[in-house]
Structure 1
Amino acid sequence: MEAVIGLLLMLLGVSHGVETYCDGRINGAQCYGALGGTVVLRLMDSASEIARYVWSNKTRMIQHRKKNTIVHNLIETRSSFTPIDGTFRINNLSMTDGGEYTLKSFDSFGRSSEPQTLQLTFQAPVSSVLLVSECLSQGEMRVSCSSEGGDSPQYSWTLDGHTLTDAQLLSGNKDSNNITLRQDVSGQLVCSVSNNVSRVSKEETVSTCGFIFIDCISNGTHISQWVLEANNTLCIEQTGVSGWTDHTLLILGLRAAVVILIFSGIAVYFACKKKKTDKTAEGSAVPEEMDYENSVVMVEMRSSASEL
């Protein structure tokens, strides 16, 4: 019989080895388990302080314990109880284990405490995750995350270990399974799919789609858009992502003109200085020549006067 049940659980897609925990001390607690897996339910702080208790679901008594002795345990072959912390462990969960449970405790005088309930619900665990990415016409990247199995899957994304932000998304929600990344987003992208009984992640390295952003004025037209770098014929003088604009060229031209004017001024200054020096030298030489001629004339005049 157990072999038949095990086969049926396999056909239903159960996951052996999946273990969940639930604090059943909170009245009305919602607990989850996976078919074929294990659930650990904490029913009380410690059984040593309770004289007697009965734990049952709507149709049958599961366990009855009195004075530190287990009087009855319906699922003894696949369960265990730890009195010191009041946890009840159920292995190889089956459909009959689901539903509402009630714990009734009694003190040494037979007085009953307020009944405590919990609800055990089954979920199929996520088995695998697939990531598919594609580049769109303007360089955006659409990424789809899909999972196999799993009831009520929830999605989350991280990029390089950090939660994906709205600023990195062109469209979509970071809690959905389909997103569109902006043109400049790249790195290690991880999609995680989880529910109350499982969590599975898939990682993929994403890079830009080869687009660059152009922002320039060409032939009097302002161009501001993303273009495929390999086929780009717009603003071809650009470098990086912003490119050379007419404003940039004007600034560079003015700087070059200033440099030329400075060097021209220096050249003119030295030329004027050299010309002034040459004139000064010529002026100094002429008087000396005149003084020599005057001396000769005076000597000749004196000689003639002596002869007379």
Structure 2
Amino acid sequence: MEAVVGLLMLIGVSLVVETHCDGRQNRTQCYGALGGSVDIQLMDSSSEIPRYCLLKNSLRILDVRNNKVILNTIKQSSVFPSNGTFRINNLSWNDSGEYTVQTIDSDGTSTGERTLQLFIQAPVSSVLLVSECLSQGEMRVSCSSEGGDSPQYSWTLDGRTLTDAELLSGNNEGNIITLKQHVSGHLVCSVRNNVSDVSRKQRISTCGFIFINCTSINGTQISGWVYEADNTLCIKPTTNPTTTTQTAAGLSWFILGLKAVVVIMSFSGIFIYFTWKKKKILEGSAEPQMMESPQNSVLMMEMSSYSNT
């Protein structure tokens, strides 16, 4: 784990995590991040304490007298006598263990003793969400983290905790959950331990399943989730059959009527033409016929006049 932390720090990934711990109470549990730093509050004000020491496994590692550091065997540490704080930087696994705080009066007599436990944990560096659709339209989502000792998982959907109506199996504290067919939204997986808290968000949508409740063509009642794109169990007509039939019938009658009008107009035109033609012929036969020789006409008229005389 230390090699992984070192590699990530080498490529520029910052894993320096600062934690704080109040060691003024007996049997306090403190946590520090691997590669990070921890501030341990040892005293309220060291100016009122003539002398105090810090021991690890019965070995004295820190000795402060009259606000002056007399002994400090941890090289990567700092002491702030004015506020009684002891800081350990660049934490390693070796820094974990039980520490004892001793207070001593000016005569060198012990006036008190208390212990604290320091736990070193690797922080969570990243979180990955992977989702997959199952055969019945459910969605399985897994949450994995890089690094992190004793990780704890929690889930939210659109900013709220997942409910039993949305979870098919699993719970909000596991790293794998199964969502029901209708669930969609912004899903967040949070991974935390005592020294870090990292989350990852992912937009999820349904797997394309729909819930049907209908009667099939053969009269069977069907109820359940089916894949919408392949659904052939309950087919609803896209248009009203009665309306379609009426529309088609009306269109047919219109076409027949139009054809009838064309035929009637054609016969009417022919009839009018022949009527006009016949009328012209009759008018031509009613006019007086002219004699071919005008001289004969005059002679006949003169002879008629003479006879009357």
TM-score by shorter chain over 0.5: yes
Are positions 1:39 and 2:38 aligned together? yes
Count, aligned residues:
233
Moved over 6 A (4+): 6-9, 11-15
Q: Is 1:9–1:94's contact at 8 Å kept on the other side of the alignment?
A: no
Alpha-carbon deviation of 1:97? 2.0
* Structure 1 counterpart of 2:284: none
* Structure 1 counterpart of 2:281: none
* Structure 2 counterpart of 1:296: none
Q: Is 1:16–1:92's contact at 8 Å kept on the other side of the alignment?
A: no
* Structure 2 counterpart of 1:146: 144
SS of 1:115's equivalent in the other structure is strand
* Structure 1 CA distance for aligned equivalents of residues 165 and 5 of structure 2: 45
Q: Which of the pair has more CA radius of gyration?
A: 2
* Structure 1 counterpart of 2:131: 133
SS of 2:94's equivalent in the other structure is helix
* Structure 1 counterpart of 2:25: 26
Gap change, CA 1:41 and 1:209, over 3 Å in 2: same
Alpha-carbon deviation of 1:140? 0.4
Select the residue among 1, 6, 9 that pairs with 1:10. 6
TM-score, length of structure 1 as denominator length: 0.68
RMSD across aligned positions (CA): 2.7
* Structure 2 counterpart of 1:221: 220
Residue type of the alignment partner of 1:201: S
Residue type of the alignment partner of 2:179: L
Gap change, CA 1:72 and 1:157, over 3 Å in 2: same
* Structure 2 counterpart of 1:270: none
Unaligned runs of 5+ in 1: 1-5, 240-308
Alpha-carbon deviation of 1:7? 7.8
* Structure 1 CA distance for aligned equivalents of residues 4 and 227 of structure 2: 55
Are positions 1:86 and 2:87 aligned together? no
Residue type of the alignment partner of 2:87: R
* Structure 2 counterpart of 1:260: none
Are positions 1:175 and 2:173 aligned together? yes
Alpha-carbon deviation of 1:223? 1.8
* Structure 2 counterpart of 1:205: 203
Cα deviation, 1:24-51, whole Å, max 9, x if unaligned, reads: 2221122222332111111222222212
* Structure 1 counterpart of 2:70: 71
Cα deviation, 1:140-192, whole Å, max 9, x if unaligned, reads: 00011111222111111111111222221001121111110011111111111
SS of 1:96's equivalent in the other structure is helix
Q: Is 1:183–1:209's contact at 8 Å kept on the other side of the alignment?
A: yes
TM-score, length of structure 2 as denominator length: 0.68
Are positions 1:165 and 2:153 aligned together? no
* Structure 1 CA distance for aligned equivalents of residues 159 and 110 of structure 2: 52
SS of 2:112's equivalent in the other structure is coil
Residue type of the alignment partner of 2:45: S
